[in-house]
Amino acid sequence: MAQYFFDLLYNFTDCMCCFPSSPQLKINNRSFKLMRLLGEGGFSYVYLVQDKATSELFALKKIRCPFGQESVSQALKEVEAYNLFNSQSNIIHSIDHCVSTESGSKFRSDGGDPGSKTVYILLPYYQRGNLQDAINANLVNHTKFPEKRLMALILGVADALRAMHQYRVKSGASSTRKAKGVRREGEEADAERTMQMKPKRRASHRADDEDEENEPLMDDEVTRSQEGVEDGDLRPYAHRDVKPGNIMIADNGQTPILMDLGSLAPSPIAITSRSLALAVQDTAAEHSTMPYRAPELFDVKTGSIIDTKVDVWSLGCTLYACLVGKSPFEARSEETGGSLSMCVLGGDWRFPDEKSGASKGKAKSGEGEASKNDDPAISEAVKDVVRKCLTVEPSERPDIDELIDLMKGVIAQMPEDDVAVILAGLKRGDLAAATADALAAAQASTIICTGHCQPELQPVIDHINRKFKNANMIFVTADSSSLASMREAGHVIKRIGLPIDGFIGFPSVMAVPWEMTADGHESHFQKNYLSYFLLVNVILDLMVPKSRIVLVTSSMRVEAPAPTWRDIRFSNGEDYHCLDGYAQSMQAIILFIKSLAKKYESRSITAFSANPGSKYYSVSVNSADFDRYQDQCADVCYDRADRDMAAAEGDK
């Protein structure tokens, strides 16, 4: 208990030392402000930090290297690996790193050696979190990954693994030089630390060094494993800890980023002795997460070969976890009450919709008994990918090339599941924001939002991203008072390149005083009508068959006169009334929609003008039920965009 207290107190004072009263830290002359703790484990902590000069956000990994527990070389092995793969877009890279000497602490239970080292690694920050965060969100919200999008994510991870499994030595490349420089830095730091130790302890380290020289190549080698390998020759590596928590999701919501290369190991490793078998097994127990660890790492046999197929097994477990919510062996072990390791070694697992007596996930098409719930079943082709990955015998398991070919074939045969919708005119706390929430709840995997000011709208986007981890919110700046801005927004959307299933546009202004835009148009007419006329026409070629275009309108007061269209500028404001300007823009929208509906009927593109209901406007100030009405109005807008509604009603 006393030791636990001392360790806890040390960790607290250590953080206070690194991040003083004004929490900040310097890494190689760059100053960072500590924002919050993102995670921790073992001797490492990960913080969200902000560059004080540029305001950019980064993830900072701090690794303590206490004497006798973890060397600086081992900690820097991660940076060494990052430098090898820094050209791979779907493998995380380190931006900077440093090794600092921490002053001793009287609170440390081991005496607080004054030469203790700490390694800091600066990494990119991905605000969407990792795949495990998305799995947790699915469990909370009772949602699932769209299968095709999930398979595309897993294929991206497989591409990252292929870069490791088929790495070719580039001894002259800057990446390799940097990696070797990191290794030397770690060795020098360890040597300096050793010189500060007591003679008895130094002797112990010399004995350890002699033992290491007698051992074959071990897991903690990275660039040293390339010695003797000629330029261009293969020097494969295995990640050894593929799991949902080590797969970040890039800010575009589409790209997986494989991270945490501290477990990286040269591959294959021939197990030539019992001592080497135990060493590899112990390393796996320390660095490879148990529910995702391959069976050959649980019980390493003398005479066996540990190769890159351990990652194929882990990727299969990861895919299963995304589909079901947990590793196949966690699920089976909880179901049977048996040992997780025994489930892994025996290949004992099954899909939830298979017979309770089925094991090893080997039920073929038609053999499984569907579970008695309304959840969509996992397609047989996707199940087959998992089954092949979770083949207990490594020689029968596909290698990474075979797995990639298999997944590409499966994806090619899958129907489209992405529902990309453009939501134009987003504002904070209004009908458009409620509609965005409704679309995300309906698993529209990509919502392209346009609006005038991103900082003002970012809280709306962040809220939806947190609430629905599978929703991909993309913001495109579009100022309805500038036709040039709207045209550029259309081109940005075209560069994104996603097929568009729906377009929903909301009025920008209502009954405002007289104003002319910089383009020379009355503000209602341009902001509510011309801006969307331009944007829709720019992106029309992205609209897929059965897609829908919805422009939101509203009812006018009975006593308001109908637009005459004789003078759309109202004599430059002399004959202007705010209701007349608004009515003119609404009628222009309806005429535009009628024209679109007729023109694109042959392409099965349906166009609507939708009046969400006058309740939204009449109760927006005084009614306590405003939020309920707002949600109901959002449902109207969503219904009009639902491509499966064969008989939707509207002003067409």
CA angle 75, 93, 400 (to 5 degrees): 95
Q: How far is CA 164 from the centre of its chain?
A: 21
Is the four-CA dihedral 557, 563, 569, 574 of positive or negative sign? negative
Could you give the angle at the alpha carbon of 218 between the alpha carbons of 213 and 223, nearest 5°? 95
Q: 240: helix, coil or strand?
A: coil
Q: What is the DSSP letter of 285?
A: H
Give the tokens for residue 627.
């939020």
| Cα 350 from Cα 179, distance rounded (Å) | 42
Q: Which residues sit in the known binding site for ATP?
A: 61
| Cα–Cα distance measured from residue 428 to residue 404, given in angstroms and rounded to the nearest whole number | 43
Cβ contact 236:308 at 8 Å: yes
What residues are paired with 503 via a beta bridge? 422, 549
Structure tokens at 201: 């302890």
- Helix ranges restricted to H, 226-352: 274-287, 295-298, 309-324, 328-336, 340-345
Q: What are residue 307's DSSP bridge partners?
A: none
> How open is the CA angle 554-557-562, to the nearest 5 degrees?
85
Residues 53 and 56: their CA atoms lie apart, in Å, by 8
The single-letter DSSP state of residue 395 is G
Q: How many residues does the chain have?
A: 652
Residues sharing a CB contact under 8 Å with residue 66, sequence separation 6 or more, in sequence order: 43, 110, 113, 116
Binding residues: 61
- With beta carbons less than 8 A apart as the criterion, state whether 471 and 419 touch: no
Residue from 552, 641, 630 nearest 589 by CA = 552
Greatest Cα pair distance, the chain, in angstroms, is 99
CA dist 20 → 7, 13, 15 (Å): 19, 10, 8
Query: What whole-number distance in Å separates Cα of residue 365 and Cα of residue 359?
Result: 15
Q: Which residues neighbour 73 within 8 Å (Cβ) at sequence distance 6 or greater?
A: 183, 186, 187, 189, 190, 220
